[in-house]
Chain A
């Protein structure tokens, strides 16, 4: 009963607003734009967060990725013939990281090189990753067939290889995959498993982090890589062969708590600084992407938030202004209602409902408009936008609040109308 009465009051409010369609529409425009901006703001922000989370998931949220890089001096020297660059992370670095940091849960060293691989007639260049079983926990990818590396493979230096789906499709081409023998470089490897892979790089703002795996990867036990291929690599470049000695190309480190990630990263960096004369390594923290994404989100929120705030304020004032005019126009009606026996608060209620219906309708239209803006942003800039329930309910509740807030003054004004004066009002 109470419910139907409330619905009836709202309907009466709608009826009254429909008497002046154009006026009502113009009055709610401010709220329309305000709510539209809020919706757009929230969905862009949400999209940025979601993208960052997705990237962090690929990188491992609690991971620190330490990579070897050729320092600038080394780069300059390497143009001279017959020079061998020696740089990068050492086996010893891996041991220190694994042993001397309290919050390091597990680590995976990787020795990475490019080798031509073949199976019968088919040939392709693979990125050979010599690593240990932990790799598959730090870079978790779905195992499509077979198994990943086991500690035994590393200990016994078995020549086994785990291919990616992409690699398997190219080189094995649908032939019965597991158990095939492929040739990597000059050596035979038994294919024991196939995993999915990610590739590319994660980016947020000015931070870029290479995703640790690639589509063209093949994973072999690190000891096998070391024994078969050694630490010295020859790169063929336009100016001739270039020789490099690198022990480890990458060390992936997992930290046990995410609040510790940055401190441990800083610790690892300090430690490496001590043992390396040149800066031939980088330390990247995927978690920083999230911070960056949040900074982007904040920037968006400030810009769109102020647009939204101003339009909502202007919209609210617009509504208040029109409602005040409407109260004056309807003084006589108010007087009649009061004479008949309406209490002051019933008059307040009536006008509040009208303003709230007005602002909420504006909010709903704004919602429709606001849903269109993120769509256009995605279409034109490729930026991911996400509409959430929060992104719908927040703007709606804002518009209801605007109605109540800015409707209150005109409504109180209406309630103050003296019925005796109002009835004589022409």
Chain B
């Protein structure tokens, strides 16, 4: 047990140690992350909050393996990923992570089905199997009858559902949601959040970035950031520590 080290606690799905992200803006150094140490448990639902410029987006990019730390270490499922190269990070995203964005980020020229199939395409699934899976997922998010449509023919809520279906296609361990309701009216937003809650109940770890506390309330845990540091953490009282 000792050889596995403290980072290999398989309860922690993500763990940051002294994580720093420094941007060079001309002559000036900007610390987007100024030494953060935190860990999230498997199956938890986290909201990362904070005003703009607080570093919450950087935090999500790092956790989502879209970006690399300047210093410090990042353990994803116990594996140190802070030194991995671009291809390995792509591989991690492909196999273990899913993303939902504020602006849905569907590929407009592809049908709903093709959009959902996208991760499967890169995973090397054959077309019959991917089509089957895509239809299944579309059904799960309540869009079974819309697979042949193009994103432009859908409402905002429907588009976000497609995005969720796509994010689930590879059966990820962690689902990242960047302001998932930012472009939706409140009723639709609620539906999306309820969908996320449902997914969390099914065991998915969800990390959501938001600046609205009403939305953050759907998450059991809240991480408040300010100036690249952790301002305060509210952990789910139900969760055993």
Spell out A's residues near B (CB within 8 Å): 1, 4-5, 8, 16, 19, 332-333, 335-344, 346, 419-420, 423
Contact = CB atoms under 8 A, between A and B. Distances in A.
Given A340-B119, A344-B87, A420 B66 contact: yes
B101 A341 contact: no
Nearest to A16: B109
Contacts of A1: 126
Contact of B126 (A4, A337, A339): A4
B126 A419 contact: no
A332 B122 CA distance: 17
B61 A342 contact: no
A8 B127 CA distance: 9
Interface string B111-148: 00000001100111011000000000000000000000
Contact of B90 (A4, A333, A342): A342
Nearest to A345: B87
B105 A332 contact: yes
Interface residues of B, number: 28
A346 B61 CA distance: 21
A346 B122 CA distance: 8
25 contacts: A4-B126, A5-B124, A16-B109, A19-B109, A336-B106, A336-B107, A336-B118, A337-B107, A337-B118, A339-B64, A339-B66, A339-B105, A340-B99, A340-B119, A341-B90, A341-B95, A341-B119, A342-B90, A343-B87, A343-B90, A343-B91, A344-B87, A420-B66, A423-B101, A423-B105
A340 B110 CA distance: 15
Given A8-B127, A420-B61, 19 more contacts: A5-B126, A16-B109, A19-B109, A336-B106, A336-B118, A339-B64, A340-B93, A340-B94, A340-B119, A340-B122, A341-B94, A341-B97, A342-B90, A342-B94, A342-B122, A343-B87, A346-B122, A420-B67, A423-B105
9 shortest interchain CB distances as A-B pairs: A341-B94, A341-B93, A343-B90, A336-B105, A340-B119, A333-B107, A343-B87, A341-B90, A342-B122
Interface string B72-108: 0000000000000011001111110101010001110
A336 B86 CA distance: 15
Contacts of B106: 336
A333 B110 CA distance: 10
Contacts of A5: 124, 126
B126 to A, nearest CB: 7
A228 to B, nearest CB: 89
A143 B99 CA distance: 85
- Most B C-beta atoms less than 10 A away, residue of A335, A336, A346: A336
Contacts of B99: 339-340
Nearest to A1: B126
Nearest to A415: B86
Contacts of A340: 93-94, 99, 118-119, 122, 166
A174 B67 CA distance: 96
A344 B86 contact: yes
Contacts of B107: 333, 336-337
A420 to B, nearest CB: 5
A420 B21 CA distance: 14
Nearest to B91: A341
B146 to A, nearest CB: 19
A289 to B, nearest CB: 59
A336 B118 CA distance: 10
A5 B94 CA distance: 18
A308 B65 CA distance: 48
A337 B123 CA distance: 12
B161 to A, nearest CB: 16
Contacts of A419: 66
Nearest to B67: A420
Contacts of A16: 109
Contacts of B101: 423
A4 B93 CA distance: 25
Contacts of B97: 341
Contacts of A343: 86-87, 90-91
B103 to A, nearest CB: 8
A130 B86 CA distance: 88
A353 to B, nearest CB: 13
Contacts of B91: 341, 343
A1 B127 CA distance: 11
Nearest to A334: B107
